[in-house]
Amino acid sequence: MLNKYPLWKNLLIITVLLIGGLYAAPNIYPEDYAIQITGTREVHEVDAALMERISQTLAQQGIVVKSSELENGSGLIRFVDSDAQLAAKASMHQVVGDDYVVALNLAPTTPDWLTSIGAGPMKLGLDLRGGVHFLLEVDLPKAVDQKLENYASEIKGKLREEKLRYRTLDIESSTMWVKFGDASVREEALDVLAKEYPSFLVSAADRDESFYVTVALSEQAIRDIETYAIKQNLTTLRNRVNELGVAEPLVQRQGRNRIVVQLPGIQDTAAAKRIIGKTATLEFRLEAKSGTSSARSELHSFRSDPERRATLEKDIIIKGDNVANAQASFDENGQPQVNITLDSKGGDLMARTTKGAVQRRMAVLFVEDKERTVYKKVDGEQVAEKIRYQEKGIISLATIQSVLGSQFRITGLDGAGESSELALLLRAGALAAPIYFVEERTVGPSLGAQNIATGVLSVQIGFALVLVFMFVYYRVFGLMANIALTLNLVLLVAVMSMLSATLTLPGIAGIVLTVGMAVDANVLIFSRIREELKNGLPPQSAIHAGFGRAFTTILDANVTTLIAAVILFAMGTGPVKGFAITLSVGILTSMFTAILVTRSLVNLVYGGRQIKKLSI
């Protein structure tokens, strides 16, 4: 029988539409302004007592809290508006201290029954919903000092290799001072260092009746180190953001020593702040032998037990920037560990050092640059002052049983969370210089709320005019096309939500284009039906012929557009990708609704009936 779908096909269409409605539903629930509190380490968990202290502080200051939640050692406090959110953040840091991360957030309000099936709202870009904005400052003087420390270790090794005895090596104001006990040895060292390090300013100097060789950085060398530090930090931050799975982030340089990070639609801003801002690396050092002078050794505590200490050599075997890959796992006893793979240089250095150090103990030193907030009273007002410091702690101290190569493992971590975080940091790459948060804020729509409201209104007016035109021009068939068009938008939003795609203003342009293409498909079908009626075909045959013969034209038009969208996605970046994704998804959903859904509605109204005239 003409114009009748089998039961299975109707059930399939209904099922797809119901699933689409379910996964599009979370987008009707607005998000709450919130603040998230998370410990800087796994041992610092947020508990009910801390949440109670925070609530009491906010109540005393007259800040209205919408609700608070405590889950998996992390706290979340919701507020009615952004003003309350910002006011609360300013006072909460004094309550929780530096052991916790206080981060701005936008918390979803999706019901549990929807989240239980994996349904969530569509992510919106910074130009639509906004997101989180971090302004980071790179400590460039520290980058120069770290580079000098690396060169100092190389110079020490070179002098020992040439059997040139030196007394001390100190770093002062971008200059290394190497002290010798004899002028003739100093002259030999001067020749060796000038030959090995032609890019440095190497010269002899006498002071305090001692013989020195100074190895200084030129202004150009300092600028090169600073430029490298910024570029390396940009690369590392981008890798860390990619590990977090943030859609369409922005990581770019601002000015001489600052970096802007914008994370649209991110849910766990506390984790993002902790991972992005952590300047942590590893240093592998040998335990100092008994009798080693204090000039060549230093005392360090264990991270897991600060009362336990060990004396390590100052010379560093390798650092975290020699790590090529790192993966968290568990050892044979179920304890967390990190499996390390070194690059070729790191593997050679490790093998060369451990070859002569079998049965000695080697330490893995965790080095982290941190910031402490101290509140002082100035003119009767409390002023926050940031104090920067470096924290070092031994993760493990184990005996070298055999020569180590490029692959080994690190144990002694505080839990699975810390091993995963350490592996992520090492895998993403080491920061060339410490970074500190200068500014943190939620970002509103870049075009302004009024412009976006106007844009949404224009889309609504355009959509309404299309609906009116289709109904007036095609009557009952136009009404069915309007229903299919509305369902197309629902499916489009559902697929975008399921794919966790980010919707931006260019993406809205893709939606508008999709609406036009979906209507265009129905216009082709309905025009074909009209032609068949004029050619004398009965109504049922005209419907069948209209859908059948217009299908090829619709398919050709949509496939060519889909090819263009795929090329845009492959070749474009940022907003272009957003437009391409929305257009591609819209093409697929419009094909489904314009052909199958519209046909199903036509069959429901006209199928299997004796009719003499169509309302078209």
CATH of the domain at 596: 1.20.1640.10
Confidence of residue 335 (pLDDT cuts 50, 70, 90): confident
SS3 sequence, 117-142?
A: CCCCCCEECCCCCCEEEEEEEECHHH
- Which pair of tokens denotes residue 144? 């120069």
pLDDT digits (tens, 9 = 90+) for 21-69: 999 999 888 888 888 888 766 667 788 888 888 988 898 888 989 998 8
For residue 266, pLDDT beyond 70: no
Question: What is the structure's pLDDT at 248?
Answer: 58
Find where tokens 């490790």 sit. Answer: 350
Task: Report the C-alpha gap between 103 and 112 in whole angstroms.
Answer: 24
Task: Report the C-alpha gap between 41 and 406 in whole angstroms.
Answer: 28
Instruction: With residue 176 as reference, give the H or E element that holds it.
Output: strand 175-180
Mean pLDDT across the stretch 202-220?
86
Q: Are residues 88 and 72 in the same domain?
A: yes
The domain spanning residue 165 has which CATH number? 3.30.1240
Task: Report the C-alpha gap between 347 and 351 in whole angstroms.
Answer: 6
Question: What is the structure's pLDDT at 41?
Answer: 64
Instruction: With residue 498 as reference, give the H or E element that holds it.
Output: helix 449-498
Q: Is the dihedral of CA 565, 570, 574, 576 positive or negative?
A: negative
Question: What is the structure's pLDDT at 24?
Answer: 92
Q: Are residues 401 and 289 in the same domain?
A: yes
pLDDT digits (tens, 9 = 90+) for 479-517: 999 999 899 989 999 998 888 777 777 887 788 788 777
The answer to whether the beta carbons of residues 225 and 212 sit under 8 Å apart is no
For residue 446, pLDDT beyond 70: no
Q: Are residues 455 and 499 in the same domain?
A: yes
Question: What is the structure's pLDDT at 269?
Answer: 64
Q: Are residues 503 and 467 in the same domain?
A: yes
Residue 243 lies in a domain: no
Q: Are residues 463 and 596 in the same domain?
A: yes
- Which pair of tokens denotes residue 343? 């690059």
Residue 271 lies in a domain: no
Q: Are residues 494 and 571 in the same domain?
A: yes
Q: Are residues 467 and 596 in the same domain?
A: yes
The answer to whether the beta carbons of residues 236 and 429 sit under 8 Å apart is yes
Q: Are residues 452 and 592 in the same domain?
A: yes
Confidence of residue 229 (pLDDT cuts 50, 70, 90): confident
Confidence of residue 428 (pLDDT cuts 50, 70, 90): low
For residue 449, pLDDT beyond 70: no
SS3 sequence, 534-602?
A: HCCCCHHHHHHHHHHHHHHHHHHHHHHHHHHHHHHHHHCCCHHHHHHHHHHHHHHHHHHHHHHHHHHHH
| pTM score | 0.56
Burial 94-124 (b: 16+ CB within 10 A, else e): ebbeeebbbbbbbbbebeeebeeeebbbbbb
Rounded to the nearest 10 degrees, the angle between the axes of helix 219-244 and helix 416-428 is 130
Residue 235 lies in a domain: no
Task: Report the C-alpha gap between 140 and 143 in whole angstroms.
Answer: 5
Q: How many domains does the chain have?
A: 4
Q: Are residues 199 and 103 in the same domain?
A: no
Q: Are residues 173 and 296 in the same domain?
A: no
Compute CA distances 213 → 166, 172, 255, 384, whole Å.
Answer: 10, 13, 36, 43
pLDDT digits (tens, 9 = 90+) for 188-209: 888 888 888 887 888 988 887 7
Region of poorest pLDDT, from 336-345, 378-387, 422-431: 422-431
Residue 130 lies in a domain: no
Mean pLDDT across the stretch 600-616?
84
Residue 18 lies in a domain: yes
Confidence of residue 301 (pLDDT cuts 50, 70, 90): very high
Given 88, 107, 126, the domain boundary residue is 107
Residue 117 lies in a domain: no
Question: What is the structure's pLDDT at 298?
Answer: 92
Q: Are residues 297 and 391 in the same domain?
A: yes
To the nearest whole number, what is the mean pLDDT of the chain? 82
AA letter at 126:
L
Residue 133 lies in a domain: no
Q: Are residues 102 and 148 in the same domain?
A: no
Question: What is the structure's pLDDT at 21?
Answer: 93
Residue 530 domain boundaries = 7-26+448-606
The domain spanning residue 371 has which CATH number? 3.30.1360.200
Residue 126 lies in a domain: no
Q: In this predicted model, which residue has the larger pLDDT, 418 or 409?
A: 409
The domain spanning residue 79 has which CATH number? 3.30.70.260
